[in-house]
Amino acid sequence: MGIIKPNNYTEKELNVALVADALSHPLRTRIICMLHENHFLRNVDLADLFKLTKPTISNHLYKLKSAGLIEYSYHTHFYEIRLNSDRLQIIRKFIDFE
């Protein structure tokens, strides 16, 4: 992707693009759906469930965290991952064209 010139876009448009980019991978959308159904998930459980390495899961979680869609806290030997419901409002507002 080329360089984005922020002066040409509104803050809302930039935020929606950031969220859309984070959700552009099927695994990341599945993680968001799973978090919506559960109170929280652990990174080690995701690695086992999807049969992926912890660094791969970590990269996907980093993309979601960078977009502000998830939050996580560190516990001994794992991260507890939760949805950031406030940030998900961006998607709802965009779909409603507010």
Please spell the DSSP secondary structure of 18-85, one letter per residue.
HHHHHT-SHHHHHHHHHHHHSS-EEHHHHHHHHT--HHHHHHHHHHHHHTTSEEEEEETTEEEEEE-H
- Residue 5: the pLDDT is 63
- Residue 97: the pLDDT is 52
**Phi then psi dihedrals of residue 74, to 5 deg:** -90, 135
Tell me the residue length of the chain.
98
Secondary structure of residue 96 in the 3-state scheme? coil
Here the contacts of 6-13 (C-beta below 8 Å, separation 24 or greater) are 12/90, 12/93, 12/94
The verdict on domain 10-95 having CATH code 2.60.40.10 is no
pLDDT tens, the chain, 98 aa long: 566 665 788 877 788 888 889 989 999 999 999 998 988 999 999 999 999 998 999 999 999 999 999 999 998 888 999 999 887 776 677 666 54
